[in-house]
Chain A
Amino acid sequence: MIPELGHFALVLALAIALVQSTVPLYGARTGDAALMGVAAPTALAQFVFVAMSFAALVACYVTSDFSVATVFENSHSSMPLIYKFTSVWGNHEGSMLLWVLILTVFGALVAAFGNNIPATLKATVLSVQSWVAAAFYVFILATSNPFLRLAPAPFEGRDLNPILQDFGLAVHPPMLYLGYVGFSISFAFAIAALIEGRIDAAWARWVRPWTLIAWICLTLGIAMGSFWAYYTLGWGGWWYWDPVENASFMPWLAGTALLHSALVMEKREALKVWTILLAILTFSLSLIGTFLVRSGVLTSVHAFASDPMRGEFILAILVLFIGGGLTLYAWRAPTLKQGGLFAPISREGALVINNLFLTTACATVFVGTLYPLALEALTGAKISVGAPYFNWTFGPLFILLLMVVPFGPLLAWKRGDLKGVTQRLTAAFILAVVGILAVCVIEGRPAFAAFGVGIATFVIAGAVTDLGERTGLWRAPLPTAVRRAVGLPRSAWGAAFAHIGLGVTLLGIVGETQWGSEQIVSLRQGDKVAIRHYDFTFEGTATRDGPNYKELDVRFAVRRNGELIGEMVPAKRTFASRQTTTTEAALMTRGVSQLYVSLGDVAADGAIAVRIYHKPLVLMIWLGAVVMAMGGALSLSDRRLRVGAPKRAKARAALQPAE
């Protein structure tokens, strides 16, 4: 009964979506307030029905109703409750339902909190968003119905893929989807602006908070995914340039560019046409990401068992929205009015440089990710493009970008003074040189490491300099500076934090890749291994029973310079229901560095293969991402985004009705 209700609710949501995607749009074109008014209630209703549908699926999983095919395939009655819950989206069907749930959440948020958006724009935005929703409802109902029943209901489920039985599954997919799908709002705003043929600074001010929310979630989602892979896969890697990782990284790069160009549009009404294009491209990349991950064209941990029909269907959605969006853009963008002028050396100019580098870097990732697919389709040759490609293309471009990051916020709008800015950055520059020298003296090895530390220091010190300049920290007396700091717009703090986060992540990357050390050895009880300043002693093994697995624990005593600092217990879990094993790495945190021990297989003579890593500064990689997200949140709380815009916009909307 419950699965049928869920299914029915989804069908109702589709029906509502069809109404929402046409009626308000027609109302907005004809100026019919009643028809435009349909958008908000239907958006809320869509959310309610999809939430009901999702709740029904959750109920099936939590009560282990194995008569539902996806529950049988992906759940087990002995799994802990949290995994029963998270396994709802640990499979293709459920994850698509989560996708549309988040889509409707965003739609409902715009409907509920978008009171200050002009009525025609709001109606058009919600309509456009509903096109996306309708396409995905049809996709789910036609090719991946999560409520399919099995005729004699099985007694026991097949269990969730053991790799996914982790807390990471509770956070990573929902966060990532909040990011992916959040960009659908920017997309809807861009399409609406093209339909209306009108776009102004107020438009950018309405779009920015939604883009920011999506960007924050995507940042955290990617960081969480990376951290999860790091501790769960057992080889200590945090980024593999796997196509699926790239699929989430490309919208992040484009979204970051969008955030910056929307800033120019909001303040200076310039880069309008470009911002619209970026909004379309960012969501297109999100859709491509969904396609890559969900269609089964890639071999990856994310590729759930799939049938070709789904791939073709998502491809059709892709072509429809990306092709349609870009066609509309080509047709309507030339009609948008030109914005303000600016000199090449100015804040706007710096943001243009930022956009150039971000989009180009994004394009190189795109080429590396899709080239193998294209080549296989054209010539049949199967190739893989590995990490070296990305290090050689993305790396240099991003390093160039990082070198100019500190200049941007210090330049004035319209016409900046590069010499003055360089003078103000002298302290940051000196700090960077000190950092490079310090690294050369202390570590001595890879020159790249010293260079990386220098750039990271420059980025961080540059952001601090910006805050110092704005508050007059080293000119005015301290109380004045503090007062100014409190009065500083939160978006200024946000920008500084985001840039600091970037520097922190870079430090982590340099530390982990350049100074990390690794030992892969075969050990027996009593054996010792040394890595950097640490000694590991194999103390003994034990076996333990978990709820749905058996575990082999290996105890290591860890000593630093001979002094005992703790114990690390990596394990191997064997899941009977799927006859698979997983590796549970043991981690020991020392400041922002970590020791990492994971197990390989047990040889016939009782020796166990062990991987031991020392990963200096590794935690800074994700800490930096969290700082970036914090910066985003600070910027989101800026007063300007909540007030300011509506008053001006209402007056403007009253003066010039839509053409």
Chain B
Amino acid sequence: MNLEIAHLHLPLTAFALEVNARLGAHITGVFGASGSGKTSLLEVIAGLRRPAAGRIVLDGAVLSDAASGVFLAAEQRHIGYVPQDDALFPHLNVRQNLCYSHTIDQPGPPPQITYAHVVEVLDIADLTERRVASLSGGERQRVAFGRAVLASPRLLLLDEPLDGLDAELKQRVIPYLHTMRDEFGIPMVYVSHNADEIVALCDDVLLLERGCCVRRGTCADLFAVSQAPHYILKPD
């Protein structure tokens, strides 16, 4: 995967998102406090927001280019998005949520990732006929992952997927993310304000502060263990 974000500029309420980076790892982390622009960055990559300036190129294909006016619509980008509040469609049951992308006729080869495989890997086989409202937090997350994966995206964007889950639940969901990376081979961009999650999952990390990427490196470069078994940010 090769995602090029060249001179991106997107004005937000308090500051502007300015990113210039090339992402290529399996799982790239974007670490920053709340309100640092992380969600906006994902929205721009997904095609849900239009940047004021800059280019975004994925594997050689131009997704958006403000200078020439090119903007590929979100539905044509094949970039999966799992938002912060999972956003499972409440009027559909679990199976209908999962298969939503399959109801749309899309050109190209049939999806490599099958329903049976996803349901097995994410351990949600017995949930399929349930209504979304009856699911627990952890179950909702797994269904949200499954739904995004079943669209066979070439890149998956995850916005604080473990936010709101307690520590124990997080420990149980993280292996699923590993499995998703290993089983389906989809590159991911993982956004979080929680250092432990970033360290557990990501190979390459961007530190975002007030819309700007201020540091970049591996987990070892950026994070150090602290007193309690948690990670904290190393000083510059």
A and B form one complex: no
